[in-house]
Amino acid sequence: MFLLTTTVSAQDLLSPVPHATHTTTLDNINLGDTNKIFRSQSGYLWIGTSEGLIRFDGYSAKRYKNNSKDDTSLSHNAVFDILEDKQHNLWIATYGGGLNKFTPQTGQFETMDLRLKETDDQVLELHFLSIDKQNQLWIGSTSGLLRFDITSKKAVALPPALAQIPKASINGALIDSQNNLWIGSFAYGVYYYQRKANNAGKLHHFIHDETSSTSISNNNIRTITTDENGDIWLGTTQGLNKYNPTLKTFERFVPSNQKDINDSGFQDDIIAIQTDHNGHLWIGTIGGGTMMF
């Protein structure tokens, strides 16, 4: 099966028709490389960039950057992910400065200690954040999967089953509608953790199998997301994959031959996936821009 892309007008998707413009600045602030766009409950738009965290209220923008002389500033300017907790604090994953908590009322950042014990090395290069019903953060990093309790502000040991996961780069961590955990690694495929009481969950591991057309298309997982139906989608370095929970298999959406690639313009290195209110899947690729499926 291959991915079919079509030319879709803005009017087909949104009304009224938006006017799209390319911009490198916002309120005279240089955006740099944009890694994350997040809307908080207060209505602010938060943009994680290579040059700090930007808050935009629709009229004016403010940038938060690292200040080496201020330990309440952002710990590193490369912001990769942003989440909001029930108390409306923001949790910031940086690539180089670890985990930050931002308190909007004070405008101050607090750098979290992600070590289980003092002799451990600090984990500073973070990719993704996901929060569960127990108020715990699951963190994807270059050093593997981490767990952090935001109430106690302490690192928490992984359940025994998850300790089996290699200390490799974790590019995605998703809590699904059943509060189970999906973990996307780079080189080791995807892991699915069915949670049970007392950390007695069961770990499933899905990898690419050259002899099977229903395995994941590649072991390099770049992103994981879920749609409004609860379906799980994986973006890999070789195409888009959808999980079938009944059969525990994957449906692949990749070009079947070079002609399909040429006709569709499809690029199969997928780095971002997002659904819209019409049920369309928006796919961000490396080298091929954005496509709608």
Among 19-28, 89-98, 216-225, 279-288, the range scoring the smallest mean pLDDT is 19-28
The type of residue at 138 is W
| Measured torsion, CA atoms of residues 225, 226, 231, 236, in degrees rounded to the nearest 10 | -10
Strands 99-103 and 90-94, how do they pair? antiparallel
**Residue % of the chain over a pLDDT of 70:** 82
Contacts of 8 (CB under 8 A, 6+ apart): 292
> In the predicted model, what is the mean pLDDT of residues 262-274?
68
Contacts of 286 (CB under 8 A, 6+ apart): 267, 269, 270, 271
- Average pLDDT for the chain: 83
Hey, what are 133's tokens? Answer: 């019903």
The type of residue at 72 is T
- At 167 the pLDDT is 85
3-state secondary structure of 110: strand
Q: Is the dihedral of CA 187, 198, 89, 229 positive or negative?
A: positive
Q: Any idea what DSSP says for residue 60?
A: -
- At 288 the pLDDT is 66
Q: How many angstroms separate the CA atoms of 248 and 270, rounded?
A: 22
- pLDDT bin (cut points 50, 70, 90) of residue 58 is confident
Hey, what are 274's tokens? Answer: 């997002």
> In the predicted model, what is the mean pLDDT of residues 108-130?
95
Q: Which CATH architecture group holds 10-292?
A: 7 Propeller (2.130)
Distances (CA, A) of 170 to 139, 160, 291: 8, 18, 25
Peptide bond into 159 cis (omega under 30): no
- At 147 the pLDDT is 95
- Comparing CA positions, the residue from 97, 84, 11, 75 lying closest to residue 44 is 84
3-state secondary structure of 180: coil
Find where tokens 């994941």 sit. Answer: 216
Q: How many CB atoms lie within 10 A of CB 140?
A: 27
Task: Report which listed range, 20-29, 88-97, 129-138, is most confident.
Answer: 88-97
Domain coordinates in residue numbering, the chain: 10-292
Hey, what are 239's tokens? Answer: 């195409």
- pLDDT bin (cut points 50, 70, 90) of residue 171 is confident
